[in-house]
Chain A
Amino acid sequence: MSILCWVMAPTIRLTVPGTLRYRGIAVRVVAEAARLVSCSVQRDPDDPLAHDVRDPFDTAVVSAFMEIFNNVAIHAYKRKGGGTIEIEITPGEREIEIEVRDHGNPFDIEGVAPLPSDLDEESLPEGGMGIHIAKTMLDEMTYEPGPPNLWRLRKRLTEQPIAGRS
Protein backbone atom coordinates (compact mmCIF):
# COMPACT_ATOMS: atom_id res chain seq x y z
CA MET A 1 0.00 0.00 0.00
CA SER A 2 1.43 3.35 -0.99
CA ILE A 3 0.85 6.22 1.36
CA LEU A 4 1.65 9.87 1.51
CA CYS A 5 1.60 10.76 5.16
CA TRP A 6 4.00 13.63 5.68
CA VAL A 7 2.57 17.06 6.34
CA MET A 8 4.41 20.22 7.29
CA ALA A 9 5.05 19.78 11.00
CA PRO A 10 6.07 22.56 13.35
CA THR A 11 8.93 22.23 15.80
CA ILE A 12 7.86 20.24 18.84
CA ARG A 13 9.14 21.52 22.16
CA LEU A 14 9.19 19.52 25.36
CA THR A 15 10.80 20.43 28.66
CA VAL A 16 11.12 17.79 31.38
CA PRO A 17 12.94 17.62 34.70
CA GLY A 18 16.45 16.26 34.21
CA THR A 19 15.89 12.89 35.81
CA LEU A 20 15.35 9.39 34.46
CA ARG A 21 11.81 9.47 35.84
CA TYR A 22 10.80 11.53 32.80
CA ARG A 23 12.73 9.52 30.23
CA GLY A 24 9.71 7.51 29.12
CA ILE A 25 7.68 10.61 28.32
CA ALA A 26 10.47 12.08 26.23
CA VAL A 27 11.14 8.80 24.40
CA ARG A 28 7.47 8.43 23.46
CA VAL A 29 7.33 11.96 22.08
CA VAL A 30 10.46 11.38 20.01
CA ALA A 31 9.17 8.02 18.78
CA GLU A 32 5.95 9.60 17.55
CA ALA A 33 7.84 12.51 15.95
CA ALA A 34 10.04 10.00 14.09
CA ARG A 35 6.87 8.30 12.90
CA LEU A 36 5.76 11.61 11.33
CA VAL A 37 8.82 11.39 9.08
CA SER A 38 9.04 7.65 8.45
CA CYS A 39 5.28 7.20 8.04
CA SER A 40 5.56 3.95 9.93
CA VAL A 41 2.32 2.54 11.25
CA GLN A 42 1.63 1.43 14.81
CA ARG A 43 1.41 -2.34 15.02
CA ASP A 44 -1.63 -2.04 17.24
CA PRO A 45 -3.55 1.23 16.72
CA ASP A 46 -5.69 0.36 19.74
CA ASP A 47 -2.63 0.39 21.98
CA PRO A 48 -0.93 3.71 21.25
CA LEU A 49 1.20 3.45 24.39
CA ALA A 50 2.88 0.22 23.30
CA HIS A 51 6.60 0.36 22.61
CA ASP A 52 6.50 -0.08 18.86
CA VAL A 53 9.78 0.78 17.21
CA ARG A 54 10.32 -1.40 14.16
CA ASP A 55 10.95 0.93 11.23
CA PRO A 56 14.72 1.40 10.68
CA PHE A 57 14.40 5.21 10.76
CA ASP A 58 12.37 5.15 14.00
CA THR A 59 14.83 2.64 15.43
CA ALA A 60 17.80 4.88 14.72
CA VAL A 61 16.18 8.05 16.06
CA VAL A 62 14.77 6.48 19.22
CA SER A 63 17.91 4.48 19.99
CA ALA A 64 20.12 7.55 19.68
CA PHE A 65 17.80 9.78 21.67
CA MET A 66 17.47 7.28 24.53
CA GLU A 67 21.25 7.26 24.91
CA ILE A 68 21.53 11.04 24.88
CA PHE A 69 18.74 11.42 27.44
CA ASN A 70 20.48 8.84 29.66
CA ASN A 71 23.75 10.71 29.24
CA VAL A 72 22.28 14.04 30.28
CA ALA A 73 20.47 12.62 33.32
CA ILE A 74 23.53 10.68 34.46
CA HIS A 75 26.44 12.94 33.56
CA ALA A 76 25.03 16.45 33.39
CA TYR A 77 22.69 16.10 36.37
CA LYS A 78 24.50 13.24 38.17
CA ARG A 79 21.23 11.32 38.59
CA LYS A 80 20.05 14.01 41.00
CA GLY A 81 18.09 16.26 38.68
CA GLY A 82 18.08 19.87 39.70
CA GLY A 83 17.62 21.20 36.19
CA THR A 84 15.64 20.64 33.05
CA ILE A 85 16.13 18.88 29.76
CA GLU A 86 14.83 20.95 26.87
CA ILE A 87 14.03 19.01 23.74
CA GLU A 88 13.28 20.55 20.35
CA ILE A 89 12.22 18.18 17.60
CA THR A 90 11.93 19.39 14.03
CA PRO A 91 10.41 16.77 11.73
CA GLY A 92 11.09 17.43 8.05
CA GLU A 93 9.91 15.71 4.92
CA ARG A 94 12.96 13.47 4.77
CA GLU A 95 14.84 14.07 8.01
CA ILE A 96 14.47 14.85 11.67
CA GLU A 97 16.56 17.15 13.81
CA ILE A 98 16.53 16.95 17.59
CA GLU A 99 18.22 19.42 19.90
CA VAL A 100 18.68 18.52 23.55
CA ARG A 101 19.76 21.22 25.97
CA ASP A 102 20.67 20.94 29.62
CA HIS A 103 22.07 23.25 32.25
CA GLY A 104 24.15 20.70 34.10
CA ASN A 105 27.80 19.69 34.02
CA PRO A 106 29.44 19.54 30.58
CA PHE A 107 30.25 16.11 29.18
CA ASP A 108 33.75 15.11 28.07
CA ILE A 109 32.80 13.61 24.73
CA GLU A 110 36.45 13.43 23.67
CA GLY A 111 37.09 11.10 26.59
CA VAL A 112 34.70 8.42 25.30
CA ALA A 113 36.74 5.32 24.50
CA PRO A 114 36.04 3.51 21.22
CA LEU A 115 34.57 0.04 21.32
CA PRO A 116 37.06 -2.81 20.84
CA SER A 117 37.52 -3.56 17.16
CA ASP A 118 37.63 -7.34 17.59
CA LEU A 119 34.75 -8.30 19.75
CA ASP A 120 34.79 -11.67 21.48
CA GLU A 121 33.63 -13.13 24.77
CA GLU A 122 36.53 -11.60 26.65
CA SER A 123 36.21 -8.11 25.23
CA LEU A 124 32.42 -7.74 25.45
CA PRO A 125 31.96 -4.25 26.93
CA GLU A 126 29.80 -3.73 30.00
CA GLY A 127 29.63 0.03 29.61
CA GLY A 128 30.58 2.99 27.48
CA MET A 129 28.32 1.97 24.61
CA GLY A 130 25.78 4.78 24.70
CA ILE A 131 27.60 7.45 22.75
CA HIS A 132 28.79 4.86 20.25
CA ILE A 133 25.19 3.73 19.66
CA ALA A 134 23.93 7.30 19.24
CA LYS A 135 26.71 8.37 16.90
CA THR A 136 26.47 5.27 14.72
CA MET A 137 22.68 5.41 14.45
CA LEU A 138 22.64 9.04 13.29
CA ASP A 139 23.87 10.91 10.24
CA GLU A 140 25.11 13.81 12.36
CA MET A 141 25.66 14.23 16.06
CA THR A 142 27.35 17.23 17.60
CA TYR A 143 27.87 18.33 21.18
CA GLU A 144 28.58 21.85 22.35
CA PRO A 145 29.37 22.37 26.03
CA GLY A 146 27.42 25.24 27.50
CA PRO A 147 25.72 26.53 29.37
CA PRO A 148 23.44 25.34 28.08
CA ASN A 149 25.04 22.13 26.89
CA LEU A 150 23.65 21.28 23.47
CA TRP A 151 23.33 17.94 21.71
CA ARG A 152 22.22 18.20 18.09
CA LEU A 153 21.03 14.99 16.43
CA ARG A 154 20.11 14.58 12.79
CA LYS A 155 18.81 11.56 10.91
CA ARG A 156 17.85 11.44 7.25
CA LEU A 157 15.58 9.03 5.45
CA THR A 158 17.57 6.94 3.02
CA GLU A 159 14.79 4.83 1.62
CA GLN A 160 12.75 5.29 -1.49
CA PRO A 161 10.57 8.40 -1.97
CA ILE A 162 7.68 8.73 0.44
CA ALA A 163 5.00 7.96 -2.14
CA GLY A 164 6.68 4.63 -2.81
CA ARG A 165 6.88 3.57 0.81
CA SER A 166 4.29 1.36 2.37
Chain B
Amino acid sequence: MPTPFETTRSGTETTLTIRGSLDINTAPALAEEIDRIVATKPAKVAVDLASLDLIDSSGVAALVKLYKAIRGYGGTIAINGARDQPLAIFKLLRMDRVFNI
Protein backbone atom coordinates (compact mmCIF):
# COMPACT_ATOMS: atom_id res chain seq x y z
CA MET B 1 0.00 0.00 0.00
CA PRO B 2 1.53 3.37 -0.99
CA THR B 3 2.25 6.02 1.60
CA PRO B 4 -0.88 8.20 1.85
CA PHE B 5 1.13 11.41 1.64
CA GLU B 6 4.58 12.60 0.72
CA THR B 7 6.38 15.92 1.06
CA THR B 8 9.11 17.09 -1.30
CA ARG B 9 11.00 20.37 -1.24
CA SER B 10 12.58 22.26 -4.11
CA GLY B 11 14.02 25.68 -3.32
CA THR B 12 11.31 27.76 -1.67
CA GLU B 13 8.51 25.47 -2.82
CA THR B 14 7.13 22.53 -0.89
CA THR B 15 4.91 19.97 -2.58
CA LEU B 16 2.55 17.82 -0.57
CA THR B 17 1.19 14.82 -2.48
CA ILE B 18 -1.81 13.05 -0.98
CA ARG B 19 -2.97 9.64 -2.22
CA GLY B 20 -5.78 7.20 -1.60
CA SER B 21 -8.25 8.20 1.08
CA LEU B 22 -7.92 11.31 3.25
CA ASP B 23 -10.38 10.67 6.01
CA ILE B 24 -10.97 10.55 9.73
CA ASN B 25 -8.48 7.70 10.06
CA THR B 26 -5.70 9.19 7.93
CA ALA B 27 -6.17 12.92 8.59
CA PRO B 28 -4.46 12.91 12.04
CA ALA B 29 -1.17 11.73 10.52
CA LEU B 30 -1.50 14.34 7.79
CA ALA B 31 -2.13 17.00 10.43
CA GLU B 32 1.23 16.16 11.98
CA GLU B 33 2.89 16.46 8.57
CA ILE B 34 1.11 19.78 8.06
CA ASP B 35 2.54 21.04 11.37
CA ARG B 36 6.02 20.11 10.16
CA ILE B 37 5.47 21.88 6.83
CA VAL B 38 4.09 25.04 8.42
CA ALA B 39 6.97 25.16 10.92
CA THR B 40 9.42 25.70 8.04
CA LYS B 41 7.25 28.52 6.59
CA PRO B 42 7.77 27.70 2.91
CA ALA B 43 7.03 30.62 0.58
CA LYS B 44 4.97 28.41 -1.69
CA VAL B 45 3.12 25.18 -1.06
CA ALA B 46 1.63 23.03 -3.78
CA VAL B 47 -0.85 20.34 -2.79
CA ASP B 48 -1.17 17.58 -5.38
CA LEU B 49 -4.50 15.74 -5.13
CA ALA B 50 -4.33 13.94 -8.47
CA SER B 51 -3.98 10.58 -6.73
CA LEU B 52 -6.55 11.29 -4.03
CA ASP B 53 -9.55 9.00 -4.46
CA LEU B 54 -11.72 9.76 -1.42
CA ILE B 55 -12.06 12.54 1.12
CA ASP B 56 -14.39 13.16 4.04
CA SER B 57 -15.03 16.20 6.21
CA SER B 58 -12.04 15.37 8.43
CA GLY B 59 -9.80 15.39 5.39
CA VAL B 60 -11.27 18.67 4.21
CA ALA B 61 -10.66 20.13 7.68
CA ALA B 62 -7.00 19.13 7.48
CA LEU B 63 -6.61 20.89 4.13
CA VAL B 64 -8.39 23.98 5.45
CA LYS B 65 -5.99 24.02 8.39
CA LEU B 66 -3.04 23.89 5.99
CA TYR B 67 -4.52 26.57 3.76
CA LYS B 68 -5.16 28.97 6.64
CA ALA B 69 -1.74 28.37 8.18
CA ILE B 70 0.12 29.06 4.93
CA ARG B 71 -1.95 32.13 4.14
CA GLY B 72 -1.60 33.24 7.76
CA TYR B 73 2.11 33.96 7.41
CA GLY B 74 1.75 35.34 3.88
CA GLY B 75 2.70 32.25 1.93
CA THR B 76 0.99 31.09 -1.23
CA ILE B 77 -0.74 27.76 -1.63
CA ALA B 78 -2.06 26.02 -4.71
CA ILE B 79 -4.32 22.98 -4.52
CA ASN B 80 -4.14 21.04 -7.75
CA GLY B 81 -5.48 17.95 -9.42
CA ALA B 82 -8.68 17.30 -7.44
CA ARG B 83 -11.01 14.95 -9.32
CA ASP B 84 -14.04 12.70 -8.88
CA GLN B 85 -15.36 12.38 -5.30
CA PRO B 86 -12.93 14.86 -3.71
CA LEU B 87 -13.75 17.49 -6.34
CA ALA B 88 -17.47 16.90 -5.77
CA ILE B 89 -16.98 17.49 -2.04
CA PHE B 90 -15.04 20.74 -2.60
CA LYS B 91 -17.78 21.95 -4.93
CA LEU B 92 -20.55 20.97 -2.51
CA LEU B 93 -18.82 22.95 0.24
CA ARG B 94 -18.14 25.78 -2.26
CA MET B 95 -14.47 25.56 -1.38
CA ASP B 96 -13.47 25.06 -5.01
CA ARG B 97 -13.70 28.83 -5.49
CA VAL B 98 -11.68 29.68 -2.38
CA PHE B 99 -9.08 27.06 -3.18
CA ASN B 100 -9.22 28.07 -6.86
CA ILE B 101 -9.47 24.44 -7.91
- Residues of chain A touching chain B, judged by Cβ–Cβ distance below 8 Å, are 20, 23-24, 27, 50-54, 56, 59-60, 62-63, 66-67, 70, 73-74, 115, 119-121, 124-127, 129-130, 132-133, 136-137
**Chain A minimum-CB-distance residue to B65:** A126
How many residues of chain B are within 8 Å of chain A by beta carbon?
27
CA distance A63 to B61 in the complex (A): 15
CA distance A130 to B24 in the complex (A): 11
Q: Chain B contacts of A70 at CB under 8 A?
A: 23-24, 56-58
CA distance A115 to B92 in the complex (A): 11
| Inter-chain contact A130/B25, CB cutoff 8 Å | no
Interface of B (DSSP majority class):
helix
Q: Mark B1-28, 1 if CB is under 8 A from A, else 0.
A: 0000000000000000000110111000
Chain A CB within 10 A, most for which of B57, B93, B98? B57
| Inter-chain contact A136/B56, CB cutoff 8 Å | no
**Chain A minimum-CB-distance residue to B67:** A124
Q: Chain B contacts of A73 at CB under 8 A?
A: 24
Q: Tell me the B63-90 residues at the A interface (CB within 8 Å).
A: 64-65, 67-68, 71, 84-85, 88-89
CA distance A50 to B94 in the complex (A): 27
